[in-house]
Amino acid sequence: MSAVLKAEGLGVHTGDLALVQDVTLTVGRGERVGLIGESGSGKSLTALALMGLLPEGLHATGSVRLDGSPADLVGADEDELAPLRGKRMSMVFQEPMTALNPTMRIGDQVAEGMLLHRAHRRRAAARSAAVELLDDVGLPSPAEAARAYPHQLSGGQRQRVVAAIALANDPDLLICDEPTTALDVTVQALVLDLITRGVAARDAALLFITHDLGVVATVCDRVLVMYGGRIVEAGEVAQVFTRPRHRYTSGLLAASDLARTDDGRLLTIPGSVPQAGAFPAGCVFRNRCAAATSACETLPSWVGPDPEHGHACVHPVEVPA
């Protein structure tokens, strides 16, 4: 499988504070990879760094390569990045309004995305292609929707429009950052379906960020678990979610299951995610981990055949034989 996206030793820093460190990942053609972790783990910063969209004051280190583009995206100029975005790689955020222009009709926004990257020569052709695309993502009465302004659509419909725009130019890579977190379950189901179908039809690579493990299990084949700005475990979804090795992963699984202990309480991970810069040295999960020993005070090394499979835990959860 050819890797569409390859990041090596990716880091995000502000001043001398490291927010994301040593992230190595690949996403292959047609592959769907989840990135999970609690709020403040560094998921969004990782996504923004991959897209070259880090806000002012933050900078990336390491390397990010997109298949077929010779230059390293880390350190590339906006001139080099802009033509890639929206065409080779695109992104869907949690809040659809961040991606939509409130004063422009939906159809024109979709068409503009296509024209910009010359998928269509003529405006009229782009316009009818836009309506087709809106139909594709399941908007009721697409021709009417094309004439509407964003505020005239519901949140779920807006998110479908954003997904349509993101898929409009058949990108090789789609990055989604919590695209359905603000939606009702039924609407979420439709948007997830639309994203997975859209990606499959284009044989595109998908990197999907969420803290809902049920969503990851539904959408993805592989998963990366992030905590404290580091990947702490990675592997096939079926493997990681049934036989987690890192203590953070197993805690996350228990908490998201809303499983009960014998005294009727729900299982939780004790404490909360520290502020950036306040994670302990060594294993970043050390101050919340019941299994921590002094051995965890040094940064655990990666145990596994490759960066896509393995964990960084000194005392991993035993795997039942």
**Least Cβ distance, residue 58 to ligand ATP (angstroms):** 5
Q: How far apart are CA 173 and CA 22, in angstroms?
A: 21
Residue with tokens 């068409």: 111
Pick out residues in 233-262 that bind ligand SF4 (CB under 6 A): 246-248
Amino acid at 282: G
Return the number of the residue (77 or 263) whose C-beta is nearest another protein: 263
Using CB under 6 A as the criterion, what x/- string covers residues 274-303 for binding ligand ATP?
-xx---------------------------
Residue 288 φ/ψ region, left for φ over 0, alpha for ψ in the -120 to 50 degree band, beta for the rest:
alpha
Rounded to 5 degrees, φ, ψ at 304 are 160, 165
Rg for the chain, CA atoms, rounded: 20
Which 124-153 residues touch another protein, going by CB under 8 A?
140-141, 152-153
Find the binding residues for another protein in span 225-264 (CB under 8 A).
237-238, 241-242, 251-253, 255-258, 260
Considering CB under 6 A, how many residues would be counted as binding ligand SF4? Answer: 14
Cβ–Cβ under 8 Å, residues 249 and 240: yes
Number of Cβ within a 10 Å radius of residue 252: 22
When CB distances are held under 5 to 8 angstroms depending on the partner's kind, the choice from another protein, Mg ion, ligand ATP, none that residue 52 binds is: none
- The site for ligand ATP, by CB under 6 A, has a size of 16
Q: At what angle do helices 155-167 and 123-136 cross, to 10 degrees?
A: 120
The reply on whether position 296 binds ligand SF4 by CB under 6 A is: yes
Residue 140 near which of ligand SF4, another protein, Mg ion, none (CB within 5-8 Å, type-dependent): another protein
Among 6, 8, 13, 14, which residue sits at the site for ligand ATP (rule: CB under 6 A)?
14
Nearest CB to ligand ATP, comparing residues 15 and 305? 15
Structure tokens at 281: 């040295």
Give the residue with the Cβ less far from ligand ATP, 13 or 243.
Answer: 13
Shortest reach from residue 76's CB to ligand SF4, in Å: 35
Instruction: Identify which range of 55-63, 133-141, 250-258, 264-272 contacts ligand ATP by CB under 6 A.
Output: 55-63
Q: Which of 21, 26, 41, 90 binds ligand ATP (CB under 6 A)?
A: 41
SS (H, E, C) 192-249: HHHHHHHHHHHCCEEEEECCCHHHHHHHCCEEEEEECCEEEEEEEHHHHHHCCCCHHH
Q: Given the complex with ligand ATP, which of 42 and 251 has the nearer CB atom?
A: 42
Buried/exposed 153-183: b ≥16 CB within 10 Å, e otherwise: beebbbbbbbbbbbbbbebbbbbbbbbbeeb
Check residue 316 for interaction with ligand ATP (CB under 6 A). Answer: no
**DSSP classification of residue 263:** T
Give the N- to C-terminal CA distance of the chain in Å, as an integer. Answer: 31
Is there binding between residue 230 and ligand SF4 (CB under 6 A)? no
Locate all alpha helices (DSSP H) within 52-141, ordered by sequence: 78-81, 106-116, 123-136
Q: Which residues bind another protein (CB under 8 A)?
A: 38-40, 140-141, 152-157, 184-190, 192-193, 195-197, 211-215, 217-219, 237-238, 241-242, 251-253, 255-258, 260, 265-269, 272-273
Q: Which residues bind ligand ATP (CB under 6 A)?
A: 14, 19, 37, 39-45, 55, 57-58, 211, 275-276
Q: Which residues bind Mg ion (CB under 5 A)?
A: 44
